[in-house]
Structure 1
Amino acid sequence: MSWSRSAERVSPAWARAVLRRLVIIAGQLVVLLVVVFVLSLLLPGDAADVQNNDVLGAGQREAARHLLGLDVSPVRRFLDWSGHALTGDLGTSYASGESVASVIAEPFLVTGLMAVLALVLLLPVATAAGFAAGLRPGSWIDRLITSISVGIDSVPDFVLAILLVTFVAVRLELLPATFLGTDTHTVFTRPEYLVLPLIVMVVRVAAPLVRLVRAGVVEVRDRPYVEQARRLGVGPTSLLLRHIAPNALGPAIQELGRTGDGLLSGVLIVEAVFVLPGIASALINAIGNRDDPVILAIVAITGLCAIVINLVIDLIGGRLAPRAEMAR
């Protein structure tokens, strides 16, 4: 009965928090799309100018601009694209004439695969390293893990990627350096091409998370309820899983919101360095072609993913710390 009354008290606050965040998400996404669209307008030329500009004359370029719908005001173009996007129609690519959905489908599949693989590797690595350091604070393994995480955290993604390519791929010739000369099929059939990109993504994102897990374990391991469980004869495994882990991982789970952002941005940087046929390459090509529908679609989807990740992590963190949720 007490649990039911508690759930009744928390549920309305939880629902209001979700509704408030959904409104904020919609506003953030609109602002993001407006800013990106304005920045794209500041680029020199448009799709009709940069495509076949050495072949088409001035009159032909004007005709091409009319066919692409570039002869209307930018505000109307943005509103038209936004209205169609709300119905699931992301428009037509200026560069290829294909639907935007078909243009970005494979790149998003590659990026999604990399993000999922990185997350699957990240969580056990960060958790295991954080617990190994936190359960023995001040030991050599604690100092070693902390030093490595701090050192990795101080190196930018692209620098770490270049170092790995230089020594592992070029000098030692152990793994492929980049995806140059390959296609999307390679991502799914040649796993050796994924090793270096995944190393960069996992270790860079895991570094701050390891230290946060360690701090949570150090804080929880000597609390009275843990000491009491030890005195009552609770075994080490049960003590770790039932008493230490749930309380130590609360702050780390909340940190996963920013980690999710870092993972997403890390995927894009890694794709650019290793020339992965993912969404970063598609975005670079779209910017070069002034392909506004593709640019807006990529930004909308990636931005929405980042915002939703933060929302989910905040809600999970609120469930682990109900008082914090109620305070919001």
Structure 2
Amino acid sequence: MSTPFTRFLLRRTVIGAGQLFVLAVLVFVLSLLLPGDAADVQNNDVLSAEQRATARQLLGLDVAPLQRFLDWLGGALTGDFGVSYANGHSVLSVIADPFLTTALLAVLALALLVPVAVTAGFAAGLWPGSWCDRLVTTVGIALDSIPDFVLAVLLVSYVAIDLDLLPATFLGTDLDTLLDQPEYLVLPLVVMVARVAAPLARLVRAGVVDVLDQPYIAQARRLGVRRWSLLARHVAPNALAPAMQELGRTGDGLLSGVLIVEAVFVVPGIASALIGAIGNRDDPVILAIVAITGVIAIAINTVIDIAGQRMVPRSAEGALR
């Protein structure tokens, strides 16, 4: 007998699979609309028309686009994303290091984002109208008004160049260097966290203020419930539930932040790999990056939805819809 949780996961899996399929089709069609193909853009000035035709045949580009997509899709379902048009290496080996670099940035950004946003939101919500509340609100509005790339350029110009405190670029840096020299990560993480922490902190603040005004909180105070117990057991779960939902949507902000960070700081991550693959018309790499990123995004949003709904119990009819 299926449970609501099982039905929820099954429904999310079916919907996610449909979304991934539509996304892959759109990306493949858009890649076909780009001028030229992999055989045209690689060594275009050296190869004759006959040589380019031979290269196109060797790469499998002489096959009908629909068949190429179906072949890729069949392989992807078994974990085989094919080989790169650019260098003939396995697609997974081509994107492994960029994905690890981006994953490192994303995990560190989330690890900083959650405590920063929750702490700031709680501090502002517990004392609304105080200097702390005004400070959090002012800083949040200021960060929201500054585009990612402007903040990144300002930090590079002032902190890295004028003060010479931190590296200005990742140029020539690989994943091992990042692990050995974490100072390379400071400025990119500041840019990524700054933009998405502000709206999350405001949502936490609003949730705290709303919960503290509820009658059951006043009753708990009259009964002598200790302040920290009240905050941990009653205020936090109810105030953070909407923020958990927002955290899922925050993934979009982190993704755009990663794109800006990798462009400004020359980070050898997945966005840089995707841009390079588009320039090379490397369809297998493009499709693999989009598919894997889509799976990760769907999985993260599903986990966040479950966590948010578990924090505030609902009726059996309304749970996990």
TM-score by length of 1: 0.93
* Matched position secondary structure for 1:137: coil
Work out which of the residue numbers 95, 113, 116 in structure 2 matches 1:122: 113
Alignment of 1:1-328 (within 5 A): 12-321=3-312, 322-323=314-315, 325-326=318-319, 328=321
Deviations 1:217-239, CA, capped at 9 Å, x for gaps = 00011222212222222222112
Letter in 2 for 1:156: P
One-letter amino acid matched to 1:209:
L
What is the distance in 1 between the residues matched to 2:175 and 2:310?
40
- State the alpha-carbon separation in 2 of the partners of residues 289 and 327 from structure 1: 43
Q: Is the 8 A contact 1:319 1:325 kept in 2?
A: no
Contact 2:5 2:320 in 1 (8 A): no
1: distance between equivalents of 2:16 and 2:287?
17
Partner of 1:3: none
Identity %: 72
Separation of aligned partners in 2, 1:194 and 1:223: 42
- Residues 270-319 of structure 1: per-residue CA shift (max 9 Å, x gap): 11221111101111111111100000000111111112211221222232
- Counterpart of 2:193 in structure 1: which amino acid? V
Superposition deviation, residue 187 in structure 1 = 1.5
Deviations 1:135-170 (A, max 9, x none): 001111101101111221222211211111111112
Q: Which residue of 2 aligns with 1:4?
A: none
Partner Cα distance (1:48, 1:272) in 2: 27
Normalised to the residue count of structure 2, the TM-score between the two structures is 0.95
Q: Which runs of 5+ in 1 are unaligned?
A: 1-7
What SS does the corresponding residue of 1:93 show, helix, strand or coil?
Answer: coil
Check conservation: 1:286, 1:294, Cα contact below 8 A: yes
Contact 2:262–2:268 under 8 Å retained in 1: yes
**Counterparts of 1:244 and 1:326, CA distance in 2:** 21
Residue type matched to 1:263 in 2?
Answer: L
Letter in 1 for 2:48: G
Question: How many angstroms apart in 1 are the aligned matches of 2:310 and 2:165?
Answer: 46
Give the Å deviation of 1:327: 8.2
What amino acid does structure 2 have at the position aligned with 1:172? L
Superposed CA offset, 1:190-239 (max 9, x none): 11110000001111111110000000000011222212222222222112
Cα deviation 1:235-281 (Å, max 9, x = unaligned): 22112111211111111111111012322332232112211111011
Q: Which digits, 9 at most, give the CA deviation of each residue in 1:52-105, with x for residues without a partner? A: 111111111100000000001111111100100100101000001100010000
Runs of 4+ in structure 1 over 4 Å off: none
Q: Is the 8 A contact 1:169 1:175 kept in 2?
A: yes
The count of residues paired between Structure 1 and Structure 2 equals 319
